[in-house]
C-alpha cells in the first residue's frame, strides 16, 4: 500500500460524523515500538491505522477506538501520538463520552499537534463542556419525566430541579403539569423533622417556578424562623438575598467549566514585588504600561550631613489618579503600610525599616547650629497587583 495516511476529519465542530478526505495525515513512517510490548500484536502499525480509519469512516466509532489505541501503543513518534489522541477524542465525542473526549483533546494539545488541528482541538475543548452539560440535563429531565409518568412525584422532584439548573430552557418544553403537582404534593407532604427543611426548600423553588414569588419568599422565611440551625437555612438565606437584590430568579444557571482554561497558564495578579532601600538622597522610579511609582529621599536645606535626608516622598499611580504621600523626619513615619487603588491596579507600600537620627545642622536663619532629626535609612517593600 506504500505510505499509509490517516486522514483527520475537517468536519465542523458539530461532531465527527462524515470525515472528509481533505484531512491532515498521520504518516506511518514512524517506526513501531514493538520491542516494548510483552506480546506480539496480530496487526502491524499500518494495518491498525488502516482498519481504524475504515471503522471511523463507517461511523463505527467504538470499534475504531480499539484499533486507534493499538496503533498508538506501537509508535513512539510524538506527532503521530498527538494526532491519534485527536482522533480518539473525535471517536469518544461521537459516542457522547464527552469527559473522555476532553481528556484526549487535551493530550493532543499538550503534544506535537499541527497548527490547524491544534486550533480545532482548542475549539472542541471550548464547547465540549456545554455539550456534556446539555447531555446531563437531558438525561435528568427525561428521568424526571419518566418518574412523573409513573406518578412517582417524589422521585421526579430532584432530577427535575437539577436539570433546570443545568439548562433552564428545558422548562419551556415542559407541558406535563409536574410543577403544579409538585407544589400540591409538597404542600400536603408530611415529613420528619430532619427532612422538613428540605421539603420547604423544594416547595419554595417550585412556587418560584410557577411565578408565585411572594409565597416562595414566605416559605423561605419559615425555614429561617423554624429551622434556623439546619443546612437548608443557609441556602434559604442566600435565595432570599436574590429577591432583596431584585433578581428575577434564584434558580441560578450552572455555567459549564472551560476545558481549554485548564491548559492556559493562569495570569498572575502580581505585577511587581520588590524592596527598595534609601540611605542617601536620591530617586527610584519606574513607569510601566499598567503602573508607575516614584520614591524620593531629599533635603530642603544645605549642610545636611552625608547619608542623611530630611524628606521622604512616595508617588503612586499614573496621570491624574496619582497619590502622593510626604513624610518629614521631624514628624516621623507613623503609617507602617500605605495602600492605593488606581483603576484595576492596587499598590501596597510597607515600611520595613525607618531609622531616625539626630544631627547638628548649621541654622541658616540664626547663629550657630541646631539639633535636627533626620532619616538615616528607610527600607520599603512595594507590591503592585492587578485586581
Summarize pLDDT for 110-159 with one digit per residue, the tens: 888 887 888 888 888 888 888 888 888 888 999 999 998 888 988 888 88
Assess if residue 132 is contained within a domain: no
Query: Phi and psi (nearest 5°) for 189?
Result: -70, 135
C-alpha cell at 222: 419559615
Residues 6+ apart with CB under 8 A from 191: 198, 199
The 10s digit of each residue's pLDDT in 297-355 is 998 887 788 889 999 999 999 888 889 999 999 888 888 899 999 888 999 999 999 88
31 and 96 co-located in one domain: yes
C-alpha cell at 338: 500605605
361 and 276 co-located in one domain: yes
157 and 211 co-located in one domain: yes
How far is residue 54's CA from residue 216's CA, in Å, rounded to a whole number? Answer: 58
319 and 363 co-located in one domain: yes
CB atoms within 10 A of CB 219: 23
78 and 152 co-located in one domain: no
How far is residue 294's CA from residue 70's CA, in Å, rounded to a whole number? Answer: 63
pTM of the predicted structure, to 2 decimals: 0.48
Query: Where a domain ends, among 70, 89, 113?
Result: 113
Assess if residue 45 is contained within a domain: yes
> Do 346 and 340 form a contact (C-beta atoms < 8 A)?
yes
The 10s digit of each residue's pLDDT in 64-90 is 999 999 989 888 888 889 899 999 999
CA distances (Å), origin 300, targets 311, 312, 319, 329? 8, 11, 26, 12
Closest to 195 measured CA to CA, from 238, 155, 224, 230? 230
Where are the strands (E) in 20-115, listed by range?
24-27
- The better pLDDT of the pair 12, 167 is held by 167
Torsion of Cα atoms, 41 then 44 then 45 then 51, to 10°: -90
CB atoms within 10 A of CB 232: 20
Assess if residue 139 is contained within a domain: no
Instruction: For residue 167, give its domain range.
Output: 148-244
Amino acid at each position: 500500500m506504500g505510505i499509509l495516511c490517516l486522514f483527520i476529519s475537517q468536519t465542523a465542530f458539530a461532531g465527527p460524523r462524515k470525515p472528509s478526505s481533505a484531512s491532515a495525515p498521520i504518516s506511518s513512517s514512524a517506526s513501531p515500538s514493538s520491542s516494548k510490548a510483552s506480546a506480539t500484536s496480530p496487526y502491524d502499525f499500518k494495518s491498525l491505522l488502516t482498519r481504524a480509519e475504515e471503522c471511523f469512516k463507517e461511523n463505527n466509532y467504538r470499534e475504531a477506538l480499539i484499533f486507534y489505541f493499538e496503533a498508538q501503543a506501537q509508535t513512539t513518534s510524538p506527532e503521530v501520538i498527538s494526532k491519534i489522541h485527536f482522533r480518539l477524542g473525535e471517536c469518544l465525542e461521537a459516542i457522547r463520552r464527552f469527559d473522555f473526549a476532553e481528556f484526549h483533546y487535551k493530550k493532543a494539545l499538550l503534544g506535537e499537534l499541527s497548527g490547524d488541528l491544534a486550533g480545532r482541538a482548542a475549539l472542541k475543548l471550548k464547547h465540549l463542556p456545554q455539550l456534556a452539560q446539555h447531555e446531563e440535563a437531558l438525561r435528568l429531565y427525561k428521568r424526571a419525566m419518566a418518574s412523573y409518568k409513573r406518578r412517582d412525584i417524589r422521585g421526579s422532584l430532584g432530577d427535575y430541579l437539577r436539570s433546570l439548573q443545568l439548562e433552564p430552557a428545558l422548562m419551556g418544553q415542559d407541558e406535563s403539569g409536574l410543577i403544579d403537582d409538585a407544589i400540591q404534593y409538597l404542600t400536603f407532604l408530611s415529613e420528619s423533622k430532619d427532612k422538613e427543611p428540605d421539603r420547604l426548600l423544594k416547595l419554595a423553588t417550585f412556587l418560584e417556578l410557577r411565578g408565585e414569588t411572594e409565597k416562595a419568599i414566605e416559605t423561605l422565611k419559615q425555614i429561617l424562623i423554624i429551622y434556623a440551625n439546619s443546612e437548608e437555612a443557609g441556602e434559604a438565606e442566600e435565595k432570599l438575598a436574590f429577591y432583596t437584590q431584585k433578581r428575577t430568579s434564584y434558580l441560578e444557571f450552572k455555567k459549564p467549566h472551560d476545558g481549554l482554561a485548564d491548559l492556559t497558564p493562569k495570569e498572575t495578579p502580581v505585577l511587581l514585588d520588590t524592596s527598595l532601600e534609601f540611605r542617601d538622597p536620591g530617586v527610584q522610579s519606574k513607569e510601566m504600561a499598567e503602573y508607575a511609582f516614584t520614591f524620593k529621599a531629599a533635603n530642603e536645606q544645605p549642610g545636611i550631613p552625608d547619608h542623611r535626608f530630611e524628606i521622604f516622598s512616595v508617588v503612586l499611580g499614573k496621570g491624574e489618579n496619582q497619590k502622593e504621600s510626604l513624610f518629614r523626619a521631624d514628624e516621623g513615619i507613623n503609617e507602617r503600610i500605605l495602600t492605593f487603588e488606581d483603576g484595576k491596579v492596587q499598590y501596597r507600600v510597607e515600611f520595613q525599616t525607618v531609622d531616625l537620627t539626630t544631627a547638628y545642622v548649621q541654622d541658616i536663619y540664626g547663629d550657630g547650629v541646631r539639633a535636627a532629626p533626620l532619616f538615616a535609612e528607610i527600607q520599603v517593600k512595594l507590591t503592585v497587583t492587578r485586581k
